[in-house]
Chain A
Amino acid sequence: MRVGIGVSTEQDHIKAVKEAAGKAIADLNTEKIDLALVFTTGEFSHSLVLQAIAGIIGPIPLLGASSAAVISSQGTLKHGFIIILFSFSESTYFNADCVKDITLETTLSAGVELGQKLLYGCKNARRNLSVIFSNIDTPNSSSLITGLQQKLGRSFPLIGATVPKNTDHQENFLYFNSQILNNSACGILWGGKLKFNLGIEHGWQPLGKPRYITRATADIVNEIDGLPAVNLYKEYFAKEIPELKRELKRISVFYPLGISISEKKEYLLRSVVSIENDGSLVFRGEVPEGSSIRLMISSKESCLLSARSAAQTAIKDMEGKTIKLALIFNSLSRQALLGRQSAQEIKTVQEVLGENVPLAGIYTSAEQAPLDFINYSLGKTYIHNNSIAVLTIAN
């Protein structure tokens, strides 16, 4: 496998495409291009950009997404265009596809459909890994993963990034071939010879006493300890609902809930998306009824340590292998928490992986990955919030 990466921060979008694609082709050093991944900031999300890419690299499968910021070896870019070109050997194969117009009612079936599409032609072959991009904000986002797992297997490694549909003043989209998509999901399924590893961490710590989810449906938690779910935040912050709504973004970033996973010390984080009038809380990801939860808190230091830890996990078992690429899906909440130190996080990852490992990635609203990738005992993929996922890929 060969990988070529091109990055541009040119203001002119077409110039940026030309510059980055030119660099990626030069870096790839072969005429055979099999697949392209594209990560951009929101302002690049228009069809002319995709046309310009196709004009340079030809009609090859292309997937990607836009967000508030992208990640490269240069650091975090608030205006940037990244293209990653792959050229696979005959022993590695892949399939890429997408599902569009996902609604609340069709999230599960969309997951099943995408799983089916990805498996097309790969049924009897050994499949390794799937990377999924999505930009849905229905309050049952876990269903997409559930649907995919129904087809690909519950413990099959799915690594995913959900990009926010809007960030501040910018709309974000998914890219699939020549299409710019909203409310969609697209993915790649890899099989054959491909070595990869994942580290995912968040760095938040539990605070206060445990509580129990007494009524919940998918991503919506109605009651905690028999009381309206919002009471938890009302108690902790001594604020009423209108004030909590005003502070929601800050609360979502800094104080998510942590779901205790019985087999692990680790907590699965859930950030609040909205506060409903009946006192229910909508989270980014499923919160099962009966779960033991705690309020979580973090610090810049703990956040940076978790990024280091994720990177360290991602290079375990990679001795003797040349890491061709490290894909990073990093939560926008971490960027908000770290503030001016957010650049330090990517530096830390680069430092652990080594300066020769090219980085590429995107900032996310949610991440999908198994809890424990190394032991594989908990191979099931979950939705994560406020986490950094580092996926290393080698031959």
Chain B
Amino acid sequence: MIILLIYALTILPLALLLIYKIQNVNQLRSQVLGLKKSLDDMDEQAKLIVRTDMELNKIQEELDKKITGLYALQRLSRIISMTLEEEQIFKRIQPEYLNDLGFEKAFGFLWDDEEKQFVLHFCLGYSDDETKKIKSFINNNKERCVNFIADEKTLSSISQNNNLITPEELNGVFNVRSFIVSALLPHQNKKGLIFVGTKNAEIVLTEGDEELIKILATQLAQALENARLFEKTWRAQQELEKKVTERTHELTVAMEEVKKISARKTDFVSSVSHELRTPLTSIKGYAAILLTGKLGDLPKDVRERLEKINRHSDELVHMVNNLLDISRIESGRVTMKAEICNLKEIAAKVEDLLSGQLKERKLDLITEISPDANLILADRTQIERVFINLIGNAMKFTPPEGKITIRSHKPKNMIQVDVSDTGCGIPIEAQEAIFEEFYRVDNTINQEVKGTGLGLALVKYIVEAHGGKIWVKSAVGSGSTFSLTLPTTS
């Protein structure tokens, strides 16, 4: 009994302990199962994450490839559009651009109409032997290539259905696994084709790749077209420049000839004038002596004739003097003695000189010399002649009660003097010619009034000899304004 009691007392705690341990183990097992379930759940989530991540990575890769390709295309387009030489266009396709487009091999041919064959213009990623093989392949299959170009297509290993290049040719000739070929179609230039390819089996071409190469082909064609147009323009310009040079030379020769003739004319006029002046002086002298009556009284008729001789001799002397002056200025034998001259004083002197005639013709001479446009640097005697001529002409062509105005002002670095009248005016077609020697406007006044046609020519020579200009503004019936510029004292 005691033994049983001792046994029971020993067993019972052990049994309790065992029950407790079993409960603990069950609890731990349940925890482990819970943890395992959590781990499995986590693993399932991880699988989802990994699959999604992989899809995202694929999309990212594709996007990266596209962006890299587009950047390469953009850079390539920019550099090929910057050159206007056909060969340079192809030379600018560098391996780095090709790699960024996803290819490592490329070539381009253009059709040569004279040679009747395709000419290789660039080749990248091929050895010399491979290049030779490609050249002969393309020219042995001219018809196939010409038809392809005529179709204006872009084909690739994914879209060609082995119609353009067979798998054997792809491997044996072009040594690539994937390719894109596109027609080069400049509007008015040699047409051709561009081929890009890769051996990389991992590269899977897409329609987007085809599109990129098509754009590249279009850019190349555009660049070729631009190069052709530039060359055409350049040649035309060269031709034009050549012609201009030839014409300039001809004109220079002609000009020299004109100068020689002009110099001869001046010499001729000068010597003739000198020759004329001597007998004229004698004629005038004898006529004057006869008119004095020292050699006896003259009958009235004779006196009248002698007075005519005297008057005509004066006119002839005046004309000869003008001619001599013109030829002197033309030949450079006359130098202008520049001095500070007062325009007001010159105008007053001329007015004084012509006051009788002005009064006789009932003409009013108005002088409006601005104080800041009064002093000129000129040869006083010559400028007086200019004014006498201009005012003399104005007097001739202005009807009585008319007005002649001398006005000066200072437009920039010169002093401008305008001599205006209210006369009959000058037709437009005669406005340039009046400055030529012996030119006289065809009008009734000129038919009545005598003149040499040398006055304005002389005026022009004198003004130009001072570094100035002369021109006229006039309309028939509205008077004329002769404007001339003269240097200022500064």
Contact = CB atoms under 8 A, between A and B. Distances in A.
Contacts of B40: 209
A184 to B, nearest CB: 25
Nearest to A246: B202
A339 interface: yes
Contacts of A238: 47, 51
Looking at A169, A209, A236, A339, the one whose CB has the most chain B CB atoms below 10 A away is A169
A260 to B, nearest CB: 15
Interface stretch (B56-64, B368-376, B455-463, B469-477): B56-64
Interface string A70-85: 0000000011000000
The 5 A-B residue pairs whose C-beta atoms are closest, nearest first, are A208-B46, A339-B64, A209-B39, A209-B43, A208-B43
A101 B51 CA distance: 41
Contact of B46 (A78, A207, A250, A339): A207
12 contacts: A78-B99, A169-B198, A169-B200, A207-B49, A209-B43, A236-B50, A250-B57, A250-B58, A250-B61, A295-B46, A339-B61, A340-B68
Contact of A237 (B43, B50, B64, B67): B50
Contacts of A207: 46, 49-50
B60 A297 contact: no
A217 interface: no
B34 interface: no
A168 B50 CA distance: 26
B241 interface: no
Contacts of A340: 64, 67-68
A173 interface: no
A209 B40 CA distance: 7
Contacts of A295: 46, 50
Given A11-B95, A339-B61, A237 B46 contact: no
A250 B54 contact: yes
A255 B50 contact: yes
A42 to B, nearest CB: 11
A18 interface: no
A278 interface: no
Contacts of B256: none
A254 interface: yes
Contacts of B67: 340
Given A11-B94, A169-B198, 10 more contacts: A79-B96, A207-B49, A236-B50, A237-B54, A238-B47, A250-B61, A251-B54, A339-B60, A339-B61, A339-B64
A235 interface: yes
A249 interface: yes
A79 B97 CA distance: 11
A144 to B, nearest CB: 28
Interface string A182-207: 00000000000000000000000001
B104 interface: yes
Interface string B48-90: 0111011001101100100110000000000000000000000
Nearest to B200: A168
A251 B50 CA distance: 10
Contact of B47 (A169, A235, A247, A249): A235
B42 interface: yes
A233 to B, nearest CB: 9
B53 A168 contact: no
Interface residues of B, number: 27
Looking at A78, A235, A247, A339, the one whose CB has the most chain B CB atoms below 10 A away is A339
Contacts of B42: 208-209
A169 B197 CA distance: 12
Contacts of A236: 46-47, 50-51
B104 A169 contact: yes
A331 B200 CA distance: 20
A293 to B, nearest CB: 13
B361 interface: no
A250 to B, nearest CB: 7
Nearest to B58: A250
Contacts of A235: 47
A100 B165 CA distance: 43
Interface string A217-236: 00000000000000000011
A208 B47 contact: yes
A131 to B, nearest CB: 29
B173 to A, nearest CB: 17
Nearest to B100: A78
Interface in A274-310: 295, 297
A277 B42 CA distance: 30
B105 to A, nearest CB: 8
A297 B99 CA distance: 28
Contacts of B47: 208, 235-236, 238
Nearest to B61: A339
A52 B56 CA distance: 46
Interface in B1-57: 39-40, 42-43, 46-47, 49-51, 53-54, 57
A237 B57 CA distance: 13
Contacts of A208: 42-43, 46-47, 50
B54 A254 contact: yes
Contacts of B99: 78
Nearest to B103: A169
A386 to B, nearest CB: 14
A237 B52 CA distance: 9
Contact of B50 (A11, A78, A297): A297
A169 B203 CA distance: 11
A208 B95 CA distance: 43
B199 interface: yes
A262 to B, nearest CB: 20
Contacts of A209: 39-40, 42-43, 46
Contacts of A254: 53-54, 57
Contacts of B60: 339
Contacts of B199: 169
Interface in B203-235: none
A78 B104 contact: no
A100 B124 CA distance: 33
B170 to A, nearest CB: 15
Contacts of B49: 207, 297
B181 to A, nearest CB: 19
Nearest to B105: A169
Looking at B58, B61, B199, the one whose CB has the most chain A CB atoms below 10 A away is B61
Contact of A79 (B46, B58, B95): B95
Contacts of A251: 54
Contact of B53 (A169, A249, A297): A297
B370 to A, nearest CB: 72
Nearest to B202: A249
Interface in B85-121: 94-96, 99, 104
A190 B448 CA distance: 121
B64 to A, nearest CB: 4
A245 B61 CA distance: 18
A12 to B, nearest CB: 12
Interface in A155-176: 168-169
Nearest to A342: B64
A233 B96 CA distance: 36
Nearest to A79: B96
B154 to A, nearest CB: 23
B94 to A, nearest CB: 7
Contacts of A297: 49-50, 53
A340 B64 CA distance: 6
A237 B47 CA distance: 7
A254 B50 CA distance: 10
A168 B236 CA distance: 50
A238 B96 CA distance: 38
